[in-house]
Structure 1
């Protein structure tokens, strides 16, 4: 097993190395769920579920489907198959081409323009940002992707926002400020609660 494959294997194992996340994987293997639905099933708060979902999504284990303002998450079967292959210790490991295809499966599942998908392919690896784009247009695509990690109507503490954004890139402070500066998120005066800007307020 090459060093890159060891890293991928460890990353996937860490993503599911939590009882709640393991249960969520099992649940979402049956059908797509919203964060709210999973919060009710597991008797957890929505921010807590969002945190777990962001970990699984960052590892490429989840697919996201939008229906209006609702986000439905389901298992990315191809990515889960990769994890199973590592755990089972199969002899033939994925080729680089196969690995690259699996790594970007979550991007291809997005109902976005090809140009926006290309930005994610260029700036992410294994569900994480490799660097922050310098050009504003590309940076906004990255912010658009990060928005999918938050649920509309849910309030988050700064610590929770940092954890969610930090799962995508170590410079969560820049990402958090940018979310607010570009009007994608609202922040309580003094840096308290954060929440997604409602659709009817985005132009204000």
Structure 2
């Protein structure tokens, strides 16, 4: 999620994180109200209602109409729809920043499972295990074919269960095996 979208979401949710503002939106969705009517229904003072309405107006969620000395407010439904479409779309909220989110997550996994260059345990979840396996296989040369004994010696530097790690390399498609030789793919 980019910083601009994050700031928009922050302002949006901070503004709506007030019980009275949410009630105001609900009431204004029904019909148009004056500040006096809203204050009476909410059982708060008019300046408090005016403050809340000003905050909602900043977001474009309410619009005001003057009639003499009275101000009448109603919900700006099109703005609410636009905000929900533009700011709250799942694609925008869930979209990680390219590579950075993945890199940070993978770094956390490596930090959690590696201690002094040794694997503390083999992760039980597939995604975490694949991060560890990719990191391990990256320590090996590309075009070299390793005998099983050499792969075992390499893996024992990181964890006692070399057989499981060796099998996982094959099962995840990170390495191939033929006639006792292993190589990266």
Provide TM-score, normalisation by structure 1: 0.41
Structure number with the higher strand fraction is 2
User: Based on CA coordinates, which of the two structures has the bigger radius of gyration?
Assistant: 2
Highest RCO, 1 vs 2 (Cα 8 Å, sep ≥ 6): 1
